[in-house]
Amino acid sequence: MLRDINFEIGEGETLALVGSNGAGKTTVLKTISGAIEPQKGKISFNEVDITTKDPDETAKLGIAHVPEGREVFPFLSVQENLLQHYHECRTLEKY
């Protein structure tokens, strides 16, 4: 369970989540990407409330959680893996 998480990342900025195992880094990332729904609070991206959006909806906004070492498509780079999902989402929008 996470409590009192608050940060803002401006355009062109980078944020690093650092902590020991079990500190909640993955939980924060999964919550932002929509894989976990927060019990309370609000998540905004470009002034849009994404608190209750699912992973497919957040991926369309350019937010995705790609777990380390899971080899989603092992012969593709990270960028190619992300673009693959992006193109699949765009294809599904047409139908």
* 4-8, 48-52, 77-81: least confident range: 77-81
* Dihedral of alpha carbons 31, 33, 36, 41, sign: positive
DSSP, res 32: H
pTM exceeding the 0.85 threshold for the entire prediction: no
Instruction: Give the C-alpha separation, 91 to 95, whole Å.
Output: 7
Is the pLDDT at 94 greater than 70? The verdict is no
Say what the pLDDT of residue 91 is.
Answer: 61
pLDDT band at 53 (very low <50, low <70, confident <90, very high): very high
The share of the chain scoring above pLDDT 70, in percent, equals: 83
Q: For all residues of the chain together, what is the average pLDDT? A: 82
